[in-house]
């Protein structure tokens, strides 16, 4: 970016058709600086300059200059240079036949990503050359067999395309004509010293075609870009007197090797992907091949399996900073060890997101027997499906300062794709310290102990003592008696017939007899922690974990600080902020992109933000994004400071440093903005709006002090995004390398740090109500209480429902519809209580990380949640059907179809079927999520996306809750009034009020049951509406809602008390049951 002073020095930005920028000195120079040549030939097609360019350029004068410059270019006499660009055509059989293939293309085709000229000359500023820069006149051989780039200097001479793609240009560049100083024109004229002399000598000017005079210019321009930072003069914000600091920059001169690039290229091609080493004795080149190749010249692919893994230490407790975890990976064919690999993990340094990913390969054996086995399996699909002879075993050993070597975990995985020539196997090894020993301690005899595989709870293997081997550790290798050091573990039968020694801490070598601890010497300063690094190349290597304020190899350097204090005046825009994200940016040295040096996340606007950095200078600028529920983030500029080590400022978040989105400034919708606004118009915003900064999805722009123009930098607008949040919540990422550093800005009516819980009406789940207590410090008490409540409800319900079931199973109740309704209800009552108990236990196990089989756990999550919803609402509807049935008996006492048991079975079956169908969507939208912020916590939550499914679910829940309750209320009122009126017709001596009271006393079983059912459901309904779309911040809110939730299961628990005891008829039927007779109840 440039300022006004630079404009006067001809560093004026020229905006061309595609909105790139060039300096004025590069304009109409004969060499393209813009990708579409709109600074050169294509200038002739421009009809009107932008306002910015009109201030510094005269279009008519520039076009006249351009026309005069290009009217004598090669082949220009065959083209209309005002609209056409002269070049040999691509994709034609004979480009030199100018009658059929006129060497002209439209100027509009330059830089359109389509090669119309031979050798891609029209795209030479779009494509890359042999060094990754602009292509220029380098030549690409694009055939599959010969994907080669030839530099301009070597074209047609030292290097050629194998299939003669370069024949068209080379046939005329190398055409013989008397001698090297002569050039043969297309018309066979032979001229001396005319090639690339800057003058048209041949008939069509071909002596000046494909000249390389712009190579020096390109290299100079690239060097200019490297030094372009000298032109950078940014606005100093906030305006204050900067701290004068003396900064010395040491520039190291790099010396480049003078070896010939052509010779190096030829040598490197000898060994394909390997390294060529010259053997002086034999005077031959020897190829050192990587693991993926073999052969004399590394010319064959190796059959291999690539392992990518790292150790997850979430569940591992670090008791000592010096502890090391050693991972031994073994590659087996059946029980035969083929190869092994090992690496070390330092838990103190690799905790959380700081893990190191390890990548290595195992090669399949190439013995005759192994090759024949692979060929046989390749053509036998049944064998491939059923047998998996290859497997990989991971063993994790804990090495402590007490020199103990303890086996912690073992993982073993079969290789399902061993018939493929190459296969990538990726696994995360989750280390835990649970007891993995077998129940049967004698399984492995006295020479080993039985160890459960961490990735399979039902599979065990025998971990043998030092020196022993075999499936049950039944063999001993005598070599282990003296091969390894005394404190190590000797594992015999290694793949190279030499035992493998697993060394204790700080011991090295193939036999573990070497001992050295680099941390015995005082390396780490300023209270830094020294850690041993197991480097097989350098045993003296160590690592210092430095405190926050220090850095360096030995924690010897003190960091510099950026300190920002916020002076916040609360406004509407700054209220209800749910997240604040502060970015610290520097500029890339070549292309001036903003790169993030630090990203800090807060749940509100912080009072102070501090960034301790280890750079020579502080980050150039900083911005803050503020997030609300329903809006795009607000962006504010915090500072712009060049060449400062320490920054200490106080900043206001006000209209002055607010950086709006350009879409808001242009007052356009998102679709209109994307279609109609170009970056070239951004200067107008500074000129007309007098603002400090603004941004779009690609650029962050700062207006110059005189508001003349904008300096725009590319930046990553997606750096704040992550994908942890549910229910359309906005996920805001903090530290880029931290999985757990994020915040979810939830949509309305959702809460939880993953937006996993809903507070919409009747959307509360038992998980959301008890989860907070289960993961709290009082989780043992909470778990005991919740499991006890659900267990008591199940047991008490079991007693009531078994009594009800036996009562209504009697022949007489089953003759009537009511008895059959109640029989079905008693079954579903107990089923719903059982599922409630299972749901509570499943939630507890999930939140404590006790369920390891992910697939089984997912099925349990979906099925249990689905069944709990369906069974609970089946009970609501069945009780409503019973109430409706009783009302029908009062209103239509002579109608026999109402009393029919067949009628009851049909209506109950329809209701049950409909409810199962109406809730089927829950099987698809319930999912398991691992909570990144809670160790070992897994949540079973619904995630209804898209939003239409959330609306449907809410409607579905409310319908199946409110409709049965409404039916109960209406039925009770109608039942009481109808009964009283029937009696009033018979007995006119009493008032209707007295008759109603008499009927309530006489037919209390008709009224008490629905009233109790209604009373158990109404509190939950009232609280559901009261707490709708409110986050349950206070514990008493959750507990009150949880109490009503359990209270709503009272009808399922008290079925016998509600339906049998109030009825004289049903009580007599119960007395007839065997249970009553056994208990002597009468």
Give me the mean pLDDT over the 602-621 stretch.
90
**Looking at the DSSP assignment, which residues form a beta bridge with residue 612?**
561
Task: Choose between 787 and 930: higher pLDDT.
Answer: 787
How far is residue 27's CA from residue 21's CA, in Å, rounded to a whole number? Answer: 11
> Structure tokens of 956?
């579905």
Spatial contact of 272 and 298, defined as CB atoms under 8 Å apart: yes
Cα–Cα distances (Å) from 561 to 13, 243, 344, 619, 649, in that order, read: 36, 14, 35, 10, 11
Buried b (16+ CB within 10 A) or exposed e, 1043-1059: ebbbebbbbbbbbbbbb
* pLDDT above 90: residue 631: no
Task: Choose among 768, 724, 761: nearest CA to 746.
Answer: 724
CA angle at residue 464 from 462 to 468, to 5 degrees?
130
> Structure tokens of 246?
């003396």
Antiparallel, parallel or unpaired: β 422-432 and 304-315: parallel
Position 979 scores a pLDDT of 66
Q: What is the mean pLDDT of the chain?
A: 81
How far is residue 177's CA from residue 571's CA, in Å, rounded to a whole number? Answer: 83
CA angle at residue 476 from 474 to 478, to 5 degrees?
170
pLDDT over 70 percentage in the chain: 84
Task: Choose among 327, 344, 309, 307: nearest CA to 428.
Answer: 309
Antiparallel, parallel or unpaired: β 104-106 and 529-532: unpaired
Give me the mean pLDDT over the 582-609 stretch.
88
How far is residue 890's CA from residue 706's CA, in Å, rounded to a whole number? Answer: 89
* pLDDT above 90: residue 308: yes
- Other beta carbons less than 10 A from residue 571's beta carbon: 10
pLDDT band at 668 (very low <50, low <70, confident <90, very high): confident
The number of CA neighbours under 13 Å toward the Cβ of 58 is 4
Position 539 scores a pLDDT of 76
Antiparallel, parallel or unpaired: β 489-491 and 475-476: unpaired
Task: Choose among 710, 700, 746, 695: nearest CA to 725.
Answer: 746
Cα–Cα distances (Å) from 499 to 391, 395, 492, in that order, read: 20, 16, 4
Dump pLDDT digits (tens) for 50-93: 766 776 778 888 888 888 888 888 999 999 999 999 999 998 98
> Structure tokens of 253?
């001169």
**Looking at the DSSP assignment, which residues form a beta bridge with residue 182?**
192
SS3 136: coil
Of 132-146, 266-280, 561-575, which one has max mean pLDDT? 561-575
Task: Choose among 855, 839, 838: nearest CA to 456.
Answer: 855
Spatial contact of 621 and 639, defined as CB atoms under 8 Å apart: yes
Position 912 scores a pLDDT of 92
Of 373-382, 990-999, 1050-1059, which one has max mean pLDDT? 1050-1059
Task: Choose among 229, 235, 277: nearest CA to 249.
Answer: 229
Rounded CA Rg of the chain: 41
How far is residue 117's CA from residue 90's CA, in Å, rounded to a whole number? Answer: 5
**Looking at the DSSP assignment, which residues form a beta bridge with residue 634?**
626
How far is residue 783's CA from residue 772's CA, in Å, rounded to a whole number? Answer: 11
Give the list of residues 6+ apart from residue 976 with CB closer than 8 angstroms, or none: 996, 999, 1000, 1007
pLDDT band at 601 (very low <50, low <70, confident <90, very high): very high
* pLDDT above 60: residue 217: no
Buried b (16+ CB within 10 A) or exposed e, 377-406: beeeeeeeeeeebbbbbbbbbbbeeebebe
What is the full DSSP assignment across 370-397?
A: HHHHHHHHHT-HHHHHH---EEEEEEEE
Q: Where do the structural domains in the chain lie, given as residue ranges? A: 4-231, 261-302, 560-709, 760-1079
How far is residue 859's CA from residue 829's CA, in Å, rounded to a whole number? Answer: 23
> Structure tokens of 1066?
């049903």
Architecture of domain 261-302: Ribbon (2.10)
Position 7 scores a pLDDT of 42
Antiparallel, parallel or unpaired: β 560-567 and 608-613: antiparallel
Dump pLDDT digits (tens) for 467-523: 998 888 888 888 888 889 988 999 887 655 678 899 999 888 889 998 888 888 877
The number of CA neighbours under 13 Å toward the Cβ of 1058 is 26
How far is residue 734's CA from residue 722's CA, in Å, rounded to a whole number? Answer: 9
Give me the mean pLDDT over the 135-142 stretch.
80
Question: Pseudo-torsion of CA 1025, 1027, 1030, 1034, nearest 10°?
Answer: 180
Task: Choose between 725 and 848: higher pLDDT.
Answer: 725
- What is the CATH number assigned to the segment(s) 760-1079? 1.20.1070.10
The conformational region for residue 29 under phi > 0 = left, psi -120 to 50 = alpha, else beta, is alpha
Dump pLDDT digits (tens) for 261-290: 444 444 556 787 788 888 877 778 888 888
841: Cα separation from own chain's centroid:
30
How far is residue 580's CA from residue 604's CA, in Å, rounded to a whole number? Answer: 6
Give the list of residues 6+ apart from residue 1 with CB closer than 8 angstroms, or none: 232, 234, 592, 702, 711, 712, 713
Position 343 scores a pLDDT of 92
SS3 640: strand
Dump pLDDT digits (tens) for 907-964: 899 999 999 999 999 999 998 887 766 656 788 888 888 888 888 988 888 888 888 8
How far is residue 263's CA from residue 763's CA, in Å, rounded to a whole number? Answer: 73
Position 396 scores a pLDDT of 93
How far is residue 741's CA from residue 600's CA, in Å, rounded to a whole number? Answer: 9
Spatial contact of 759 and 770, defined as CB atoms under 8 Å apart: no
What is the full DSSP assignment across 657-714?
A: TB--BHHHHTT--HHHHHHH--GGGHHHHHHHH--SEEE-SSEEEEE-TTSS-EEEEE
Task: Choose among 549, 554, 528, 564: nearest CA to 614.
Answer: 549
Of the candidate ranges 422-426, 486-490, 804-808, 1019-1023, the one whose mean pLDDT is the lowest: 1019-1023
Position 241 scores a pLDDT of 43
**Omega of the bond leading into 238 within 30 degrees of 0 (cis):** yes
* pLDDT above 70: residue 851: yes
What is the pTM assigned to this prediction?
Answer: 0.66
Spatial contact of 125 and 137, defined as CB atoms under 8 Å apart: no
Burial class (CB within 10 angstroms; exposed 0-12, middle 13-18, buried 19+) of 678: exposed
363: Cα separation from own chain's centroid:
32
* pLDDT above 80: residue 20: no
**Looking at the DSSP assignment, which residues form a beta bridge with residue 640?**
237, 621
Of the candidate ranges 89-103, 358-372, 993-1007, 1027-1041, the one whose mean pLDDT is the lowest: 993-1007
What is the full DSSP assignment across 601-635?
A: EESS--SEEEEEE-SSS--SEEEEEEE-SSSPPEE
How far is residue 53's CA from residue 58's CA, in Å, rounded to a whole number? Answer: 8
Helix (H) or strand (E) holding 585: strand 579-587
Task: Choose among 74, 20, 63, 160: nearest CA to 679.
Answer: 20
Residue listed under structure tokens 């005759």: 368
Dump pLDDT digits (tens) for 143-161: 544 457 888 777 887 677 8
Dump pLDDT digits (tens) for 853-884: 778 888 999 999 999 999 999 988 988 888 88
Antiparallel, parallel or unpaired: β 608-613 and 542-545: unpaired
How far is residue 715's CA from residue 623's CA, in Å, rounded to a whole number? Answer: 12
Task: Choose among 1032, 1051, 1052: nearest CA to 1042.
Answer: 1032
- Other beta carbons less than 10 A from residue 351's beta carbon: 14
How far is residue 712's CA from residue 228's CA, in Å, rounded to a whole number? Answer: 15
- End-to-end alpha-carbon separation of the chain, Å? 98
Greatest alpha-carbon span in the chain: 142
Of the candidate ranges 381-395, 564-578, 966-980, the one whose mean pLDDT is the lowest: 966-980
Give me the mean pLDDT over the 420-428 stretch.
89
Give me the mean pLDDT over the 715-737 stretch.
89
Task: Choose among 513, 516, 551, 552: nearest CA to 534.
Answer: 516
- Measured on CA atoms in the order 9, 15, 19, 25, is the torsion positive or negative? negative
Spatial contact of 35 and 18, defined as CB atoms under 8 Å apart: yes
């Amino acid at each position: 970016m440039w300022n006004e002073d630079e404009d006067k020095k001809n560093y004026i930005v020229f905006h061309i058709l595609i909105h790139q920028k060039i300096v004025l000195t590069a304009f109409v120079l004969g060499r393209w600086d813009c990708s579409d040549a709109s600074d050169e030939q294509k200038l002739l097609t421009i009809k009107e300059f932008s306002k910015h360019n009109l201030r510094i350029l005269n279009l008519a004068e520039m076009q006249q200059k351009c026309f005069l410059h290009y009217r004598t270019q090669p082949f220009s006499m065959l083209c209309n240079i005002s609209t056409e660009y002269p070049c040999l055509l691509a994709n034609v059989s004979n480009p030199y036949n100018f009658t059929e293939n006129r060497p002209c293309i439209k100027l509009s085709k330059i830089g359109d990503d389509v090669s119309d000229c031979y050798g891609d000359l029209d795209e030479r500023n779009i494509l890359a050359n042999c060094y990754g820069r602009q292509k220029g006149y380098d030549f690409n051989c694009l055939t599959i067999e010969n994907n080669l780039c030839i530099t301009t200097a070597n074209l047609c001479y030292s290097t050629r395309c194998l299939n003669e793609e370069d024949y068209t240009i080379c046939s005329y560049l190398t055409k013989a004509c008397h001698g090297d100083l002569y050039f043969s024109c297309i018309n066979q004229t032979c001229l001396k010293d005319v090639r690339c002399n800057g003058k048209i000598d041949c008939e069509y000017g071909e002596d000046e075609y494909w000249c390389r005079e712009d190579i020096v210019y390109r290299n100079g321009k690239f060097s200019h870009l490297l030094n372009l930072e000298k032109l950078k003069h940014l606005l100093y914000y906030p305006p204050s007197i900067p701290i004068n600091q003396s900064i010395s920059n040491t520039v190291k001169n790099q010396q480049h090797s003078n070896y010939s690039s052509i010779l190096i290229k030829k040598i490197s091609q000898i060994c394909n992907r390997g390294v060529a080493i010259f053997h002086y004795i034999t005077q031959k080149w020897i190829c050192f091949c990587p693991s993926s190749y073999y052969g004399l010249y590394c010319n064959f692919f190796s059959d291999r399996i690539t392992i990518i893994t790292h150790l997850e230490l979430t569940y591992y407790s670090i008791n000592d900073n010096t502890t090391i975890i050693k991972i031994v990976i073994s590659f087996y064919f059946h029980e035969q060890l083929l190869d092994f690999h090992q690496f070390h993990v330092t838990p103190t340094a690799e905790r959380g997101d700081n893990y190191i990913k390890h990548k290595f390969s195992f090669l399949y054996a190439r013995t005759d027997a192994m090759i024949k086995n692979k060929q046989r399996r390749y053509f036998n699909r049944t064998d491939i499906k059923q047998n998996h002879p290859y497997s990989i075993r991971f063993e994790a050993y804990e090495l402590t300062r007490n020199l103990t070597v303890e086996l912690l975990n073992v993982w073993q995985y079969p290789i399902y794709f061993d018939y493929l020539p190459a296969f990538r196997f990726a696994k995360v090894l989750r280390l835990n310290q649970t007891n993995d020993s077998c129940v049967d301690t004698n399984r492995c005899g006295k020479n080993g102990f039985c160890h459960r595989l961490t990735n399979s709870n039902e599979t065990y293997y025998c971990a043998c003592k030092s020196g022993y081997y075999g499936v049950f550790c039944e063999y001993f290798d005598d070599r282990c008696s003296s091969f390894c050091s005394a404190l190590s573990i000797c594992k015999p039968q290694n793949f190279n017939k030499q035992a493998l020694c697993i060394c204790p801490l700080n011991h090295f070598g193939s036999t573990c007899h070497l001992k050295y601890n680099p941390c015995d010497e005082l390396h780490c300063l300023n209270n830094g922690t020294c850690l041993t690094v197991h480097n097989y190349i350098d045993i003296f290597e160590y690592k210092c974990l430095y405190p926050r304020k220090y850095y360096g190899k030995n924690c010897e350097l003190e960091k510099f600080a950026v300190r920002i204090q916020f002076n916040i005046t609360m406004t509407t825009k700054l209220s209800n902020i749910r997240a604040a994200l502060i970015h610290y940016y520097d500029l890339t040295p070549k292309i001036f992109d903003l790169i993030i040096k630090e990203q800090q996340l807060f749940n509100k606007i912080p009072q102070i933000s501090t960034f301790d950095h280890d750079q020579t200078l502080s980050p150039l600028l900083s911005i803050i994004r503020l997030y609300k529920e329903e809006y795009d983030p607000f962006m504010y500029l915090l500072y712009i400071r060049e060449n400062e080590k320490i920054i200490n400022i106080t900043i206001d978040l006000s209209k002055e440093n607010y950086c709006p989105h350009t879409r808001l400034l242009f007052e356009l919708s998102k679709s209109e903005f994307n279609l109609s606004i170009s970056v070239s118009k951004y200067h107008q915003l500074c000129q007309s709006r007098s603002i400090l900064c603004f941004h779009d999805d690609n650029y962050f722009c700062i207006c110059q002090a005189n508001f003349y123009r904008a300096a725009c930098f590319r930046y990553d607008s997606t750096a704040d995004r992550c994908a942890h949040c549910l229910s359309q919540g906005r996920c805001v990422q903090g530290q880029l390398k931290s999985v757990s550093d994020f915040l979810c800005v939830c949509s309305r009516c959702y809460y939880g740090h993953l937006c996993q819980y809903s507070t919409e009406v009747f959307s509360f789940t038992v998980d959301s109500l008890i989860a907070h207590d289960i993961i709290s410090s009082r989780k043992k008490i909470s778990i005991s209480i919740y499991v006890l409540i659900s267990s008591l409800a199940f047991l008490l319900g079991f007693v009531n429902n078994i009594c009800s079931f036996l009562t209504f199973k009697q022949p007489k109740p089953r003759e009537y519809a009511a008895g059959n309704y109640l029989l079905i209800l008693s079954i579903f009552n107990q089923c719903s209580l059982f599922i409630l108990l299972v749901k509570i236990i499943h939630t507890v196990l999930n939140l404590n990380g006790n369920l390891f089989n992910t697939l089984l756990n997912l099925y349990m999550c979906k099925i249990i949640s689905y069944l709990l919803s369906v069974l609970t609402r089946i009970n609501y509807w069945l009780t409503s059907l019973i109430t409706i049935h009783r009302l029908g008996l009062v209103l239509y006492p002579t109608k026999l179809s109402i009393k029919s048991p067949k009628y009851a079975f049909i209506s109950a079956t329809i209701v049950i079927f409909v409810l199962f169908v109406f809730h089927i969507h829950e099987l698809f939208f319930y999912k398991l999520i691992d909570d990144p912020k809670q160790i070992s916590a897994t949540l079973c939550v619904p995630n209804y996306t898209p939003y239409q499914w959330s609306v449907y679910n809410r409607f579905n829940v409310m319908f199946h809750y409110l409709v049965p309750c409404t039916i109960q209320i209406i039925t009770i009122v109608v039942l009481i009034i109808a009964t009283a009126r029937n009696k009033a017709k018979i007995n006119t001596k009493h008032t209707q009020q007295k008759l109603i009271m008499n009927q309530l006393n006489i037919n209390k079983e008709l009224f008490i049951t629905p009233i109790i059912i209604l009373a158990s459901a109404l509190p939950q309904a009232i609280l559901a509406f009261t707490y709708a779309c409110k986050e349950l911040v206070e514990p008493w809110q959750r507990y009150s809602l949880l109490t009503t939730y359990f209270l709503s299961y009272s009808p399922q628990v008290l079925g016998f008390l509600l339906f049998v005891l109030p009825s004289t008829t049903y009580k007599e039927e119960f007395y007839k049951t065997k249970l009553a007779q056994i208990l002597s109840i009468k």
